[in-house]
Structure 1
Amino acid sequence: MPTLDLTASSVEITRAICDIPSVSDDETPLADAIEAAVSGYSHLEVIRDGDTIVARTSLGRSRRVVIAGHIDTVPINDNLPTRDVEIDGEAFLWGRGTVDMKAGVAVQLKLAVELTEPPVDITWMWYDHEEVDSALNGLGRLARNHPDLFVGDFAILGEPSNGEVEGGCNGTLRALVRTTGVRAHSARSWIGENAIHKAAPVLARLAEYRAREIEVEGLVYREGLNAVRITGGVAGNVIPDACEVEVNYRFAPSRDAAAAERVVRDVFTGFDVEIVDVAVGARPGLDAALAREFVAAVGATPQPKYGWTDVARFSALGIPAVNYGPGDPHLAHHDQERVPLAQIESVERGLRSWLTGS
């Protein structure tokens, strides 16, 4: 079984956990290594649910913070093992998972075992299956199986944020916009009705759509509505009788699911629209006392999170949450995924400063 040395630097811990492959559905070896590494510390109670590991303090503090990170990655594409690279004089660790989001997990692991007397109680969570269907998400499963673990006054998710604080997150909705026609031989196309041609107005409305910017609690979230897939066609000599355009709507956290659905249905008035998936966003939560203290301690200027993250799960449970982790989110899932070593160290310093009051 792979082993982890949590006395090493956060950079070296990042390297070690990245070099234990943990593509979604294959997290067990890394989960085993994490469980073994954090067990045996007298200040931590360790709980396991599937391939999710929880380590928490119970020091009787008046406030509790939840700090979480997922341990799975998207599939590897010749980008492991990790290696050191230098670009324009800056040192990076290159490889799958370095950005999304094992550098953040490495910082959390190091601090979890070192901070034995934090001023707040801390629940550390390292969970599985974030990169796949939401129904499999380890954080969601943990909330269902152990709701008592989700008691907290503030939460931090170590998603890549370039070492900055990103409050809340946008929501996301997927819909299918369908057109129908009549099949015919393509040599006599006038006999049929081409469903693909009928989808042209759908694409035109998408092309004409202008993303809105919506301010929520002082942060400006940028929305987006885009086609992400189109299907249709029967054979090379048949006029198609069906076409389907899948669209993705990213919406500000001021909207609930019903409001987001109304926006999409209004854009595609006159078409058959089916909502197939929706996940609401999370408000910034920066007005919470612990959030204000955290932002001040790390010296950050909060930014909005445009993508959906699991901060929304905490927000839904009434726990204000932010994203804070090393790595450029633009490089998440990229074949050239790489994290600046300086950002790993900076995030560690920021969290340590806040959690020790020094």
Structure 2
Amino acid sequence: MTSPEISLHQSLDLGLDGGTLTARLVDFPSVSGSEGPLADAVEAALRAYPHLTVDRYGNNVVARTNLGRSERVLLAGHLDTVPIADNVPSHVEGDLLYGCGTSDMKSGVAVQLRLAATLPDPNRDLTFVFYDCEEIEASRNGLGHLVARHPDWLAADFAVLMEPSGAMVEGGCQGTLRVDVKLTGTRAHSARSWLGDNAIHKAGEVLRRLEAYQPRRVEIDGLEYREGLNANLISGGVAANVIPDECVVHVNFRYAPDRTEAEAVEHVREVLAGFEVVVTDSAPGALPGLDQPAARAFLAAVGGEARAKFGWTDVARFSALGVPAVNYGPGDPNLAHKRDEHCSLAAIAEVEARLRAWLTAN
């Protein structure tokens, strides 16, 4: 297998089958914030096809057909991954391709690239969006930057976000809210602890409330969403012989899309009443929207039943733009971000075949 260092200098061959192309993409390390080399390769590969108009803003690449069709479909995928966990370069074991980003979501990006290269005359006009910084704070999300600077590039009648969904349609997405619970005390020498007030000890009550919290299960349009309110990080302390005067519990609330951002914030403040709660990051969820004609037609075309999306995805941005959108990709969402992350080669081929049939049917 080619090393990641050599891969950085290689071009992408979009004539490869989907599984092999996914492996090539995985072997371009593209941790959030360092997507430049992969974006360069994607842009160069797409510009080789005369049926595509290619634009770029930052490390975000948009390719479009302009055939005058009555409907435009947008397929989107992010180029970045979470930090590599000794799982690059990729390798194959039977039907499974292992490596960072195989599931989330370079397999989906590979399907996009294959369709962009091999569908010069689709039954709908197509827009392919490849963007950066999805895995980190919302303010750096490349799709958000395109919404702000080039919304015309994203105009569409329907959008498919190629997020991992196990080759099933997943409707909507959860909202995500991050807050810091700030605890204060009085610093003192630990040999004379009675002169201080230990801020770290105060975190105990915060953690007890979170441990006792009973998350909702909510059914919307026949899909069940599950909420979660959890401490993910704790920071505090000065030195081994100092009573700490500061401690911060970092909390993440994943909430069903029937809540607004404001309602989510209010709910967290109610659960943690009496503590200082500071919002650090927020992104709203998206309702399933499966009652939309375009979504119903897509579900019928690719087959199977829909399920709720656990996690936040950029279907929320498309929803805010008034573009009906679903999640549909070959990766397994339960394997995202894991050290042994992998994707089924058969699933990659299946998703490409279903989308190709949908986009070429008379």
Provide TM-score, normalisation by structure 1: 0.94
- Could you list the runs of 5+ residues in structure 2 that have no partner in the other structure? 1-8
Cα deviations across residues 141-167 of structure 1 (Å, max 9, x unaligned)?
A: 222221111211111111111111111
Q: Secondary structure at the match of 1:195?
A: coil
Q: Cα distance, 1:176 vs. partner?
A: 1.5
**Is the CA contact 1:2–1:29 (under 8 Å) kept in the aligned structure 2?**
no
**Is the CA contact 1:284–1:320 (under 8 Å) kept in the aligned structure 2?**
no
Which structure 2 residues correspond to residues 176-255 of structure 1 after superposition, within 5 A? 176-255=180-259
Query: What is the aligned partner in structure 1 of residue 5 from structure 2?
Result: none
Q: 2:236 and 2:28 mapped to 1: Cα distance?
A: 41
Query: What is the aligned partner in structure 2 of residue 19 from structure 1?
Result: 27
Match of 1:300 among 288, 298, 304: 304
Match of 2:40 among 32, 47, 55: 32
Q: 1:61 and 1:266 mapped to 2: Cα distance?
A: 51
**Is the CA contact 1:2–1:20 (under 8 Å) kept in the aligned structure 2?**
no
Q: Name the amino acid aligned to 2:62.
A: V
Give the share of equivalent positions with the same residue, in percent: 58
**Is the CA contact 1:51–1:128 (under 8 Å) kept in the aligned structure 2?**
yes
Q: 1:49 and 1:121 mapped to 2: Cα distance?
A: 21
Query: What is the aligned partner in structure 1 of residue 64 from structure 2?
Result: 56
Q: Cα distance, 1:194 vs. partner?
A: 2.2
Query: What is the aligned partner in structure 1 of residue 93 from structure 2?
Result: 85
Cα deviations across residues 302-353 of structure 1 (Å, max 9, x unaligned)?
A: 1111111111111111112111111212222222111111110111112112
Matched, 1:163 2:167: yes
How many corresponding residue pairs?
354
Q: 1:20 and 1:193 mapped to 2: Cα distance?
A: 50
- Could you list the runs of 5+ residues in structure 1 that have no partner in the other structure? none
Cα deviations across residues 59-91 of structure 1 (Å, max 9, x unaligned)?
A: 2222211101111222323322221113xxxx1
**Is the CA contact 1:174–1:247 (under 8 Å) kept in the aligned structure 2?**
yes
**Is the CA contact 1:2–1:30 (under 8 Å) kept in the aligned structure 2?**
no
Q: Secondary structure at the match of 1:312?
A: helix
Q: 1:313 and 1:241 mapped to 2: Cα distance?
A: 40
Provide TM-score, normalisation by structure 2: 0.93
Considering only aligned residues, what root-mean-square deviation do their CA atoms show, in Å? 1.6
Kindly report structure 1 stretches of 4+ aligned residues shifted beyond 4 Å: none
Q: Name the amino acid aligned to 1:68.
A: A
Q: Cα distance, 1:301 vs. partner?
A: 0.8
Relative to structure 1, the CA distance from residue 252 to residue 235 in structure 2 (aligned partners, 3 Å threshold; closer, same or farther) is same
Match of 1:68 among 72, 76, 79: 76
Q: Secondary structure at the match of 2:211?
A: helix
Query: What is the aligned partner in structure 1 of residue 105 from structure 2?
Result: 101
Q: 2:286 and 2:206 mapped to 1: Cα distance?
A: 29
Q: Cα distance, 1:24 vs. partner?
A: 2.5
Q: Cα distance, 1:232 vs. partner?
A: 2.4
